[in-house]
Structure 1
Amino acid sequence: MASDHGTLGATPPKSSADYVEEKGFNDNLDPTRFLSEAHKTYLVERHGTLDIDPIPSMDPADPYNWPLWKKTANLSLVAFHACMGTFTAAAIICAYEDIAEDLGVSIQRVSYLTSLQIAILGGAPLLWKPLSYRFGRRPIFLLSLILSCVCNVGCAKSPDYASMAACRALVAFFISPAMAIGSGVVTESYFRHQRARYMGVWTLLVTLGVPTGPFIFGFVVQRVGYRWIYWILAITNAVQFILYLFFGPETRYVGGDIETRPSGVKHQYLSIRRIDPTPLKWTEFTHPLTLFTNIPVLLAAIAYSMVFLFASVLGSVEVPQLLQSKFELNAQQLGLQFLGLIVGSLLGEVLGGFMSDMWMNARAKRIGHKPVPEYRLWLSYIGYLLAIGGLAMFLVCTEDASQGVWNVKPVIGTGIAAFGNQVVTTVLTTYAVDTYPQDAGSVGVFINFVRSTWGFIGPFWYVDLILLYECLLMSTRFTSMFDSVGIAASSGVVAALIMGASFFPTLFLQFQGKRWYRHD
């Protein structure tokens, strides 16, 4: 393979992301015009075409040049790692009563063990993202898992509420990196025409963590007790750590002269060192928050987060509040009510991910060049309508159901809402990355921050938004809205908020978004 590297200099060839940053988004720009003939020959032999974006270097260690099985194995680990963040936070939902009785506190205080983790999952990646750029993704992921394992053991052994809350907070802090850095891993490994499909794997697992936790651990609580939740989480973290050692190579590719860089295997699996010598500045820890000034990314994050709040958070948090008391369910039966959210999310990813890429690729063939990122947004409207319809079905059928007589209709409603939520999740996340590909990691951190913050404060909302501040002080929950206007009537409030904060902002991006990042 020496000939493959002969022209590789100290500075790797620019990718299309570099051209976007320097010249603005230009669909008709041909980045291959900057390549040598040797480089073009290498790419054709490696990928079978020059029609790829971004353009990788001539180095086999470049993640874009990895074989598909290697990319897939690594993404599977990263996506499951991301899933463990929300999975761990939601794992104890079915055990609130057992924990309250064991520790001698109220169910309301036990619920804060979940809310606390949601809040930390949103802010912690601000620290991990700059460190992962300097030392690589792999060391951060390995450190994340081993420390999460230790802290989950601490949860299992906690004798009182305070120690359990402290351990839960530490678990959330250490398990959080993949929830945000995952977007960077996808962007560093897969070409643009594959991005929605594989970005969707990551976003799907983040979404699935919420309902899958109580679905699985409802059986555990019912049969062996809630403390086994923490033991199972610790064991899972340990297994993840071992798998990362063998199947989780480094995706942070800096380039440079391969003669002075560690060999491919050593660099990807064995090297624990600073791979980027650029000085670390404190502003990098808050840099993702500067995306509040990036209109396309900001509106996409807000639109997605509002749907996530209702179709995922409300659907998960209020299932115990509404269905357990309505149908008189035990922990195991309660866990089964989350099946609708799981099935809906899986089906939604087919449209949001795989079909989304087909949608964009078909458009590219028709017009002869890559379509603008806004073309992908057409699919999001399907997601909004399904989310609204599914939530309406969940709330109306829950109120109409007979006390003590189980009814499947509310579960079907959560499934339809979850389908819509997953379509929106993948489409808007991919759109945000497509408009700002030069820093996909910051996009992921920013979206995670907005989503988690929204998901944390959402359960404290009151139907009268003028009283929001008072509501926060009183620590009321979604149930305040249900008590004020009724469970069924609340569907109108939900629909209005999704239309106002999600549907119409997306419509604005559809026709005006390119003005904020394109410079012809």
Structure 2
Amino acid sequence: MGCFVLEPKAHGKADEVEHVPGTAVFNEDPVAAAAAAFDGVDLSTLKRARGREDLILIPQPSDDPNDPLLWPTWKKQVFFWILIFGTCLVGAAGPLIAADQRHIASLLGVSANTFAQILSSWFVFTLAIATIVFQVATVKLGKRPIYLFSSILLCVSAVWASYADSIGSFAAARMFQAIAMAPLEFLVGASINDVFYVHERGIYVAVWTAALLLGINCTPILAGQVLKKPELGYVWVFRYFAIAVGVLIVLQFFFMPESTFVRAPVLPPKTTDSTLDHEKREAAHVENGADSNLLKKSFLQELNPQNGVYKTKTNVFVLLARPFLMLFTPTVFWGGICYGLGITWLVMLAVTISVVFGSPPYNFSSASVGLTYVGPCLGALFGTVLAGPLTDWSAKILSRRNHGIYEPEFKLLPVALYLIFGVLGFVGYGWTLSDGAPWIGPVIFFGICNFAIVLGTTAAISYIVDCHRHTTDAALGALIFWKNIWSFALTWNFTEQLLHYGPRNCFAIIAAVIAFTSLCTIPMYICGKKARSWTHRHIRFSEEDEMSAVAH
């Protein structure tokens, strides 16, 4: 047992199992890292970073000129920043009219609680289902057609919402917006992996996370300035949003080619049957694109919206079942209550912000309600800056104490800060609102809530990704499904409950749930390696084809 992480047993014996996914040798030497990644391969034959002979590229690029890993730097950067623009818009879609939802509910002739159910509860439920469906479509069709289709649907549904004159029409428009948001919620991480090497991904993933939080927390501030003008109102909020999505569609069509690319694996040399080995290597050589007849696609060829159907080892129904196989595995279930509930608290704060600050004693206008998000925006920013380095630092320190062996559980320490600041933030937020404290008080605690949630959810995501490196798509799909189901269930009547029981009681309960879920991290830390071993033995995912999963 290293650093209090229990070792799993094999077949009831005291022997340790040979391999548990996620456990690795911790080494900051890039050559050592490559040796572990390409076990048995002659490292002198592998490709290295330009200008860095000590840095072996992971994954290894092919010789095909169309390999996204070989795109020029400018093309990768344009591709990435379009993804970031889309991420900001998807983050903005949820709280787009949160600052004025009480007024909009009255215009459409429904109660604030009913409107919140449509705006958030049914919205995230639809998003949960769409995530599963689009995940399968992406595996079969590639990413480019999914990005284009979803962006067009997002633009059309935003225009639809701006013209909706009944609650039924508005609700339908919001459901289609949820469907359209799904790909840009779960697919960006996979696109980053398509284009960048392992040693480059850290900063891009951090920017992606920051962009999503920027979209969520800055939108009420900006939208509030439009909502306060009677001649514009929520109608023009949706129209301005549609215009921004229209710009995104143009950028995606011209500057975001397909990034899905199937590479042959890097194979170690065989010690027997050299003829067969030579034939396999030749086949891999051709498949990787070393064939001189392969030509680089022209700009016009890259504009093709669809590049055919990708072959998979399993049928569509098995692909649909992949995330559900993961839902109740120990690590993903823990991630569901830590990450899923953490994001749900953000949704619950957003759906009640207009009720809280638009009522006595504050009586804020929609513009002023939007400005209350300055605190959360700063809190999320500080959390984003701190979360990554803190998670990596804890992993590094504990790995050294564990004789150079890294366990994913070492990244869970920041959850302690989630416990402290989460309880402080929600208790303080509820008490200051109940006592009618000056607006600066609840806004500061609102920011602390966001700071805490960023720390907790970042630790949870890092842990799940490291536990399921060969099945990340299925694990994250299950995690996002948990998040949307929690959001659907807990936001259903939350506005009504807040008005009935008061902010002090409601947010104190949330603080208690945060304390409970954070304390669940202790058994997860201690027994996490055993849980990973159990998942590896009972739910078999092919490492050669991550699109294949079979319950065992």
- TM-score with structure 2 setting the length: 0.78
Quickly say closer, same or farther: Cα 1:268–1:443, change in 2 above 3 A.
farther
Say whether 1:96 aligns with 2:101.
yes
Which of the numbers 187, 190, 193 marks the counterpart of 1:184? 190
1:264 to partner: Cα distance: 5.7
The 8 Å contact of residues 381 and 503 in structure 1, kept in 2 or not, is answered as yes
The 8 Å contact of residues 198 and 353 in structure 1, kept in 2 or not, is answered as no
Q: Quote the Cα distance in structure 2 between the aligned partners of 1:67 and 1:437.
A: 27
The 8 Å contact of residues 364 and 370 in structure 1, kept in 2 or not, is answered as yes
1:149 to partner: Cα distance: 1.0
Specify the code of the residue in structure 2 equivalent to 1:331: S
Quickly say closer, same or farther: Cα 1:156–1:44, change in 2 above 3 A.
closer
Say whether 1:137 aligns with 2:143.
yes
Q: Quote the Cα distance in structure 2 between the aligned partners of 1:79 and 1:380.
A: 27
- TM-score with structure 1 setting the length: 0.82
Say whether 1:510 aligns with 2:507.
no
Aligned to 2:461: 429
Quickly say closer, same or farther: Cα 1:329–1:373, change in 2 above 3 A.
same
1:401-416 to structure 2, matched below 5 A, reads 401=436, 406-416=438-448
Say whether 1:344 aligns with 2:379.
yes
Specify the code of the residue in structure 1 equivalent to 2:48: L
Which of the numbers 24, 28, 45 marks the counterpart of 1:27? 24
Q: Which is greater in Rg?
A: 2
Q: Secondary structure of the residue that 2:306 maps to in structure 1?
A: coil
Deviates most, 256-265 or 173-182: 256-265
Aligned to 1:496: 512
Aligned to 1:263: 296
Q: Quote the Cα distance in structure 2 between the aligned partners of 1:425 and 1:268.
A: 37
Specify the code of the residue in structure 2 equivalent to 1:99: I
Say whether 1:374 aligns with 2:382.
no
Alignment deviations for residues 461-504 of structure 1 (CA, whole Å, 9 cap, x no partner): xxxxxxxxxxxxxxx325526633x432444322221122x212
Alignment deviations for residues 381-435 of structure 1 (CA, whole Å, 9 cap, x no partner): 2123212211111111111225xxx420100101011011111222211211111
Deviates most, 313-322 or 366-375: 366-375
Alignment deviations for residues 359-384 of structure 1 (CA, whole Å, 9 cap, x no partner): 54566678785622111111222123
Aligned to 1:85: 90
Compare relative contact order (CA 8 Å, sep 6+) and give the higher one, 1 or 2. 2
Specify the code of the residue in structure 1 equivalent to 2:307: R
Q: Quote the Cα distance in structure 2 between the aligned partners of 1:391 and 1:334.
A: 18
Deviates most, 52-61 or 120-129: 52-61
Say whether 1:218 aligns with 2:235.
no
1:229 to partner: Cα distance: 1.2
Aligned to 1:466: none
Q: Quote the Cα distance in structure 1 between the aligned partners of 2:80 and 2:42.
A: 31
% identity of equivalent residues:
23
Deviates most, 203-212 or 186-195: 186-195
Aligned to 2:113: 108
Q: Secondary structure of the residue that 1:251 maps to in structure 2?
A: coil
Aligned to 2:476: 444
1:95 to partner: Cα distance: 3.0
Q: Quote the Cα distance in structure 1 between the aligned partners of 2:218 and 2:419.
A: 23
Unpaired runs of 5+ in structure 1?
Answer: 1-20, 461-475
Say whether 1:331 aligns with 2:331.
no
Aligned to 1:472: none
1:47 to partner: Cα distance: 5.5
Aligned to 1:232: 240
The 8 Å contact of residues 27 and 371 in structure 1, kept in 2 or not, is answered as yes
Alignment deviations for residues 38-92 of structure 1 (CA, whole Å, 9 cap, x no partner): 642x225475434665555555654455566654543443344244334212112
Q: Secondary structure of the residue that 1:401 maps to in structure 2?
A: coil
Unpaired runs of 5+ in structure 2?
Answer: 1-17, 26-34, 264-286, 538-552
1:109 to partner: Cα distance: 3.3
The 8 Å contact of residues 347 and 419 in structure 1, kept in 2 or not, is answered as yes
Say whether 1:164 aligns with 2:164.
no
1:194 to partner: Cα distance: 5.7
The 8 Å contact of residues 246 and 269 in structure 1, kept in 2 or not, is answered as yes
Aligned to 1:487: 503
1:230 to partner: Cα distance: 1.2
